[in-house]
Amino acid sequence: MHIIDSGNTAAANGVKLARAEVIAAYPITPQTPLTEKLSEFVDGGEMDAQYIPVESEHSALAVCIAASSAGARAFTATSANGLLYMSEQVHWAAGARLPIVMCVVNRGIGAPWTVWNDHQDAISQRDSGWIQIYCCDHQQIIDTVIQAFKLAETVSIPVMVCYDGYILSHTYMPFEIPDKGRVDAFLPRISPEYRLDPENPVNLNTVTLPDIRLDIHGKTAPGYMEIRHNLHTDLRSSISVVEEIDAGFKKNFGRGGNPLIEPYRCDDAEFVAICLGSLSYQLRLAVDKLRNDGIPVGVAGIRLYRPFPDQAVREAFSSKKRLIVIEKALSYGNQGALCGDIRAALYAATGSRPDISNYIIGIGGREIQTNMLVDLLEKACTGTEKPGTEAEWIGLRM
């Protein structure tokens, strides 16, 4: 079924089709309509789920941690300072290896206070141990939410599905709602290997000693360092799982095919703009304009940001002349976080490596005009100077 509705409604329909069993909700702009729509589904009998309104974002993720520990399929959503408020629980969910799915509707964080879009909220949690996937339009939102549950439950790692506040969350565009029966076949009911069960009592996530030790059964149990190593290696291994799940989704629903990096006119490009989220689709307009002017430029959106697809980055970009990394977030005191990751990935490339320019744009919802992107790309592609290490801010009015 095709409908025209908001990105938040697309996400809510994905959660409904995934048959989430526990939904924890606390309102924060611009994700609030997502959980409101889920409450309508539950109240109207369209979802067989427990909808739990809580007093804070910290409590929302705590509810999901408890539900997931008991073997339920759990979901929540947040934005901006709400994500920061639940930061302790974000780390806990990853360390406990709980397959929770959370939509992060990207918004700038305070202070000063802003309700507008950038990516600083999700970027601030990039090292928490969650998988992070970025969406570019409404169809990707609903499809990614469904795949995220399958991914989380396959690798026992929680997943953030990130999409741009207002630009996607509140705008209306057409998208297809997949057939429920086909989604049920693609995503079976959750069957966790471990869960809290009164018939088989266990202790979960107790104080762990620095070194390995024997458990109550006399078997060697990992220490804290081994547990963290296992999370890291499983995150790295999950890159191939993301690709496998996307391939299965494409076979069943006909959509997908670029789960790590989504390129546009990159095959013969000498210059490639790289970014996260819906900006990559806006950049296609700029790329088309410059292609008409004879400039060989393309654009690529990073879909999977954590774990970082470094090998795919090397294969896609190491032969290019210049990369133009455009970001709506930064690692304060250093550079754009995405640019730093791309530079690190390409450091291991054999042979020549491309020059890399870094641009910070759209912070706190500052308007990004397409002609601004055309000028930025034209300057980066035709300039003769090698880029420096400092990021250039676009749109400052000082």
Residues 265 and 169 both lie in one domain: no
| DSSP codes joined into one string, 19-65 | T-SEEEE---TTTHHHHHHHHHHHHTTS---EEEE-SSHHHHHHHHH
Identify the residue whose tokens are 């299965």.
248
- pLDDT for position 208: 82
195 domain residue, yes or no: no
Q: Which of 129, 158, 186 is the last residue of a domain?
A: 186
Sites in the chain below the pLDDT cut of 50: none
Residues 15 and 155 both lie in one domain: yes
Identify the residue whose tokens are 């141990």.
129
283 domain residue, yes or no: yes
- pLDDT for position 339: 98
Q: Which of 186, 211, 238 is the last residue of a domain?
A: 186
231 domain residue, yes or no: no
What number of CA atoms fall less than 13 Å from residue 180's CA on the CB side? 7
Q: Are strands 131-134 and 159-164 parallel, antiparallel or unpaired?
A: parallel
Q: What is the pTM of this model?
A: 0.96
221 domain residue, yes or no: no
CATH number of the domain where residue 92 is located: 3.40.50.970
- pLDDT for position 281: 98
- Domain housing 13: 2-186
- pLDDT for position 386: 78
- pLDDT for position 199: 84
User: Total domain count for the chain?
Assistant: 2
- pLDDT for position 197: 84
- pLDDT for position 24: 98
Q: Which of 171, 186, 201 is the last residue of a domain?
A: 186
Residues 167 and 285 both lie in one domain: no
